[in-house]
Each structure stands twice: as C-alpha cells, then as structure tokens.
Structure 1
Amino acid sequence: MGSLFAELARQASANARREVETYTREIPEFGFLDQDARARAETLDHSMWFRRRTLELSPGNSELNGDDLGYIASMGELRAGAGLSLDARQRVLRVHTALMLREINEATESQRDGGVDELMRMMAWFAPQGERGIASYRQGFVRVLRRRMPYTEQVALLTRSLLNGDPISAELATAVDIELPDRYAVTVFRVPDRPAIDRFLEDEIGALVKSHRAPVIWGPEGGDGSGELITLIPLFAGPEAADGAPPHGVPDLLPDLTPEHLPDVVQDFVRALGRPCAVGTSVAPLPELADALDRARRISRVAPPRRASARLRPHTLADVFVELAVADVPLVDDWLRTLAGRLESGPDLLTTLDAYYRHDMHRGATADALNVHTRTLDYRLRRARELTGIDPGSTRGVRTLSAVVTRRLSGAWR
C-alpha cells in the first residue's frame, strides 16, 4: 500500500467520527444520534466500513462486489425505515461524498511528493464505484418506501423528486410503474376553494395517475383557502414533439406547443376535482421542471377558473402574457380594474365579452354559447362600447377588454 493509502488508513477512524459529527450538526433529522448511543455506534460502523473497503479496493481498481452493494442497499433500507426524508437522504449522500473527497485531498497534501500517481488511481476508482454505491443506497431506500407507503404518497414523492431534480426519481418511478419521458407539461390546477382531500378524491386522482402515467402532488394551501394540484403530464419524444419543442432554456410561447392529448387529460383532472379550476401549463425537459413549475404556477394565478367542457384547455404563457405583465404594473392594473367596474353595471357584459373572445369573436358561436339571440349579443357589445368608449371588436378592444375580462374572472380584484 502506497503512502497516500497508508495515510488514509491512519486517519480512517478520526475521519469516520468526523462524518458522524457532521451528520449530527448539519442534518436536523440526525439529531437523534446525540441521544441514541446504539444508532450512533451503528452509523460510525457504516462510516468505517466505507473507508476500509475504499482502501481495500481502490489500489487495484477492483469493483464493489455484490455483497458490498447489498450492504450499502441495506443502509438505505435502514434509513428509510427510520423515516429519513428524501431531502435528508440527499444531504447525507452529499455530505458523505464531500467528506470523502476532502479526506483524500488532505491525505494528498500531507505527502512530500504530493502522491499524484496514487491520487489519480484513487479518483479513477472513486467516481464510478461511488456512483454504483449511491445507486444501491437509493434502491434500498425505495424498497422500504414501496412496502410501507400508500401508492398516492409514493407518487407524491416521485413528483417532488422530479421537480427537485433528485436522481432517486428513477427508482421511485420504477416502484410506481411510471415511465419517465423526455419532457413534461408541468400543469397547475388552481382551485379557488380547495376541496377536502378525502378518500374518494384520493382514489379519483390515483386512478388518473395510473391511467395517464402523470405524477401529481398537492401544492401549499393559500391564505385565502385556495389550493393547487401540480400534475406532470408526460410528453414522450417523437418527430412531431421534437420539431415543436422550444429551444433549450426558452419557455414555451406558442399555443401549438401544447400536445393534442393535453386538453383531454386536463378535463379529466378538473372533473375529478369537481369545481372550476384555473389551469396553467408549461413544457420543459426533465432537468428544467422547477422553472416550468414556476411559470405554470404564475400562469394559473392570472388565468380565469373554468369548468370541464369541450372547450376547456390549459393556459400557456402565450395565452396570458399580457395579464402576467399587467399584474406587476399597478398603474395599468388599476386602469383595467376601472374599466371592469364600468362593465359590471351592464347586463352580463363581462360574461358576454368572455364568451365573445373565447369564440374568436364569432357572433353565431358566441350567441349559441350564451344561449341568446344574436341581436341580444349585438346589444350587449354595443353597451360595452358605450360604457368603456372601446369597441370590443376593434384591435384596441381585443387588446384591452380581453385583459379586463381575464383579470376580473381570475379573482385578482377581490
């Protein structure tokens, strides 16, 4: 054994103790080690085992064997059985890796000749075998979750791990029989009055998850009693999807980027929720789901709630970019709110304008949707022009009054 390896062996016990102390200090869920002597000793044994096997295998570049990987997996099972969260598990792996690299660097610096050759041999072993060990730890962790957690809770963990970019998502997806696609349409269902999450609703949502292979998670409840259901709707790669995808790092701006099946999936979820929902969606590849969630959430907050219907479709950035910008400019928002106040004095003018713009200003289709005669529709449009001084069918009318309607119906001006 060379001098670098000898130095690592000499420091192994102290380094293992330092690792356990770091867990206790930096990861709140490991605070119990200060009170549980048996668990602390067990954790110390694990740390020593890692270092001993590293020194036994790395000089000859030998791989971790099946027994080694099984032992590592058992550690994952032990931590999952103790209730360790996904976030804490990720921090454990990060701390362990950082400390091992630090120890190697410290041992190298203590050598007179720098130990460069031995360092290269160590690092050539450490990277691939570390990756195999982490994969085994994740597999053991997930095995316990699969045995102990209800299906919907496993799906929620998968959704959270995908949004956080956690590599454990691959194992979690296998556990719940969901294939991970190239891209997702991150879709937020904003519910003005969040439903009670009872067994019936959980069963309904769980059935949709299985049929559409779409992981979901409930978002935080708003202070006004509103809630949100976050759904990751899969978009598998194909010639059309690849051609229609936005450039890397650029949010989807065009309505035709929404896949054809997305409205049907959205309608299924809105029906299950049983109440009007404001739906925002944003498409992104797996590494960019967190940013897509932020966009979808902001879109849902300015979109008007809708019930499930043949015309229901999720809102994209292209649908509400004006409203998103207006929401951050109080001067403009106040002006639009004033126009909305004028329209509220008329007979169903806001509802009429909403239908008018949703039907692309087609008078016959709008009248049918409102169940009124076209002459009644014409009267209402004329009344809107009289109250606001803006013709709803003009370019200015489309730009201004459509924003007024969307802002008003979204609940932004309560």
Structure 2
Amino acid sequence: MTGSGELPEILTAHCPRLDTAIGEALRGHPAYQPIRRAAGPMFGPRGATCARLLGLVLASEPLPAEDLARFRDLGVLAARQAIPLPVLSEVWDLALAAAARSCWSVAPAASFAEMAALTARAARLAGRAREACIQGYAEAPREGGTSRPLRRLLAGTLIDGAPADVIADAAGVRLAPAYLVLVCEAPALTSAAHWQRASERLDARDGVLYSGDLGGLVVLFPAEDPLRAEDAAAEFTAGLAACTRGPVHAATSLLGGLSDIPAALEEASQVLTVVKAIPDAEDRPYRADELLVELAILGQPDIRCRLAAVLSPLDAGTDLRRTLEVLLACNLDRERAARELWIHRRTLHYRLDRIRDLSGIDPSSARGIQLFRAALTSARLTSLERTGGRDAGSDGGGADGGCADGGGAEREGAEGEGGAGGPGEDASFPSPLSA
C-alpha cells in the first residue's frame, strides 16, 4: 500500500513523460500545429503548461481566473483560424485521454481509489477549461443571430451531438426546442453567386442554422410548428432549384429534440441517397415514410442483385433503359417522354414493346412499371456507391432532370416521323431565389 503523499510524488516525477505522451497522441493531427501556435504565447512551453495543470489537480485547486481567460482566448484564436469546433473538441479529447492513460500506467495498484479521485478532479477542471474555450470560440464571431459564422458554429455543434447552450448563451441566440433537418445537394456546376444567393436566403430566415455548401448542405429549421418547418424547407428547396436550374436533391427528418438531431441527420442522409437514385425524383424534400420500399432495397444486397437481372435483357436494345428513366421522370406521360427523348411517339411505343419482349415484363402495366422503377433505383444506387455518392448521370439510371424545362435529358436524333423537340431554352443566369 502506498504511503501518504506517494502518488502525487510519482505523478509529479512522471510529468515529463506525461508531456511526451500528450505530444505523441496529437502529433500528425491537422489541427494540432495551428492550436499550438495559438496557445504557445499564452501558456508557454507545453511542458510548463502540463506541470501547472497537474499541480492544480494535485492541490485540489480550481482554475484561476487568469487561466480561464487564457482558455477563452484560445477559443477565440481557434475560431479566427477557422478550426471547426468538432475538430477542436477532438484535439481536446485526444489530449485528455492520453494524459489519463499515461498517469494510470504509473499509478500503483494500491492507489486505485486515490487515483480515481484525482481523475474525477482532473475531469472537472478540464470541463471548466473546455467551457471557457467554447465560450471564447462562440464570442469570436459574435454578431447576433444573423452571423454566418455563428449559424455554422451552432449548426455544427448540434449536428455533432454536443451541447450548444454555452455557445448560444454567449452569442445571445435562443435555440429552438427542436429542428427539422434538411439535407440537400444542388448540381455540381453551381457558381459562387448561386451559393451567395442561397446563403443570403437562409440568413434572412429567423432562427435557421446551416452548415456546408451547395455540394452538401445541412439546414436546421426551427420546428416548434413542424408543418411550418416543412413548408419552409420545401420553399427553400424550390427556390434553390429555380436559381440553379436543378435538379436539387433534398430530404428532411424530424425525430424529436436537440439531442435527436444527429439521428435525424443520419436518417435524412439515407433518404437523400435514395432520392438521388430514383428516376422520377422531384425538386422537393422527401421524408423517409415516402420511400420505405426504396430504403428497404438499399439494405438488401440480395434483392438488389435480383433487380439488376431484371434490367440485364434491356442491354440488347438501343436506349431502352434511358427510355424507362425518362418515362418515369415524365410521370408516365408518353407524349412528354417522346418529346423529351426527341423521338416520335410511335417510336416510344415500339421501344416499350421491345422492353416487354426482351424482359417478359410489361412496362405499361402497374406491376411492370413498379418493378422497373425499383430495378432502375437499385442500379442507380450501385452507380452512386461507385462514385462516392455523387450523381453519375445516366450510367445505371437517373433521368438527369427528366421533363423539367431546359432539362438535362440526352438529346437523341429524331426517329420515326416528325421527331419532336428542339434546343433547350437559353441558360442565362436566373434571377435570385424567389419566395
């Protein structure tokens, strides 16, 4: 059994190795050097900081006000260097975990109770320091509720599942009790001007938080009134589609309070994956309960293999998959589909008959078109998985805009009599997002 005072002496002697252990745990982390450059002038050498904090823990003393001020300043500098709060928290957690492992490795077994008490004391001290750091991080971009950095900070914190009350209080922002999570992606060829207009549109909405950009945007709409939040998400998506000329893929989820936001984001992200795969997707947010069959397909690899076999016979014909995609995108309106494909309606009828003959499935029947839709969705999912989730065009599925005005359907030469269609409308830059 260790004598009185033996454990503090052991830990004090261990301090240089404790400093080394923390350095090794953080070495290579992309945010470590920027944080060290910010912290060095305030805290001095890392070894001195380590010894000072260990001394406070061993003496059961709270963090002095001057140290709390240093941690607040560290948060301010981290924010100004655009280090994301989750990354800053990750560095913090790595350092604390390394310190705990190192100290426990030299503590005698007989000092377990004393070491546990010191660990709890260190956790309380670290929690107070972290709170001061977050407060400084929040105050750095403090410009009230319309600050873009603040909205991104709050959104990122909630998405990460971390408590955001300290940040919100420091910035004078009232968090809603619940948020509707919207995830959306706009076309890859959007410009900085498109994003400027979209972000201005979000900034004009009271209480809306957001993170990301048009390549992958997460928006949190206050959901005291869920229907109103859904309307706001739909309005924003429609405006974004009009601004960028679409297609815009979007999904929403609302599961509960603030602590449920990470789960809601996960659900909405799964729905978004399916939305990008269905051939008749519209420029509006989809909910999970609208795509239950497709979500089931997403998690059934055996079913997806069997659905792929449904489409295989169509490779023997010309543009047969594409014909089905556009027909679905045009809501089964054959006249519109023929016009979109730049073919005569009789040519479209011929292709549908050819699809029936090759596959044994009649696309003009309710069962047949549902089966083909599921098969095309499955093929598109596979294509998206190959490309890391980015829209891969019509390879394996997708109407690329379908029947939208000026849509992206691949133009074919006119077939049959009097090929329909004409060049797309002028793609000049559209007006700003409209309500």
**TM-score surpassing 0.5?**
yes
Give the paired residue count: 362
Other-structure match for 1:236:
223
d(CA) in 1 for partners of 2:34 and 2:136?
22
Other-structure match for 1:21:
23
Equivalent position to 2:111, from 95, 109, 114: 114
Other-structure match for 1:132:
128
Q: Secondary structure at the match of 2:60?
A: helix
CA contact (8 A) 2:362 2:368 kept: yes
1:386 matched to 2:353: yes
Other-structure match for 1:244:
none
d(CA) in 2 for partners of 1:36 and 1:265?
39
Task: Name the amino acid aligned to 1:17.
Answer: D
Q: Secondary structure at the match of 1:267?
A: helix
Task: Name the amino acid aligned to 1:132.
Answer: R
Q: CA deviation at 1:188?
A: 2.6
d(CA) in 2 for partners of 1:340 and 1:153?
51
d(CA) in 2 for partners of 1:164 and 1:346?
41
Other-structure match for 2:241:
270
Equivalent position to 1:3, from 5, 8, 14: 5
CA contact (8 A) 2:322 2:394 kept: no
d(CA) in 1 for partners of 2:11 and 2:286?
60
Other-structure match for 1:57:
60
* Higher-helix-fraction structure: 1
Q: Secondary structure at the match of 2:91?
A: helix
Q: Secondary structure at the match of 2:247?
A: coil
CA contact (8 A) 2:151 2:210 kept: yes
Structure 1: gaps spanning 5 or more residues: 219-226, 242-257, 358-365, 373-377
Q: CA deviation at 1:182?
A: 3.9
1:73 matched to 2:72: yes
CA contact (8 A) 2:310 2:375 kept: no
CA contact (8 A) 1:24 1:33 kept: no
> Residues 300-349 of structure 1, C-alpha deviation per residue, up to 9 Å, x if partnerless?
430347675xxx44364426347746898466336436549869579987
Query: If the length of structure 2 is used for normalisation, what is the TM-score?
Result: 0.62
Other-structure match for 1:400:
371
- Cα distance change on mapping 1:320 and 1:172 into 2, 3 Å: farther
CA contact (8 A) 1:156 1:216 kept: yes
- Cα distance change on mapping 1:356 and 1:24 into 2, 3 Å: closer
Task: Name the amino acid aligned to 2:76.
Answer: E
Other-structure match for 1:201:
195
d(CA) in 1 for partners of 2:39 and 2:321?
74
Task: Name the amino acid aligned to 2:263.
Answer: E
Query: If the length of structure 1 is used for normalisation, what is the TM-score?
Result: 0.65
> Residues 123-150 of structure 1, C-alpha deviation per residue, up to 9 Å, x if partnerless?
4433334322212112223333558xx9
- Cα distance change on mapping 1:4 and 1:233 into 2, 3 Å: same
1:318 matched to 2:265: no
Q: Which aligned pairs between 1:315-354 and structure 2 lie closer than 5 A?
A: 316=288, 317-318=291-292, 320-321=294-295, 324=298, 329=304, 332-333=307-308, 335-336=310-311, 339=314, 351-354=326-329
The share of aligned pairs that are identical, in percent, is 14
Structure 2: gaps spanning 5 or more residues: 340-344, 381-390, 398-435
Q: Which aligned pairs between 1:221-260 and structure 2 lie closer than 5 A?
A: 228-234=215-221, 236=223, 259=230
- Cα distance change on mapping 1:281 and 1:331 into 2, 3 Å: same
CA contact (8 A) 1:188 1:229 kept: yes
d(CA) in 1 for partners of 2:183 and 2:35?
41
Q: Secondary structure at the match of 2:184?
A: strand
Q: CA deviation at 1:197?
A: 2.0
Task: Name the amino acid aligned to 2:94.
Answer: V
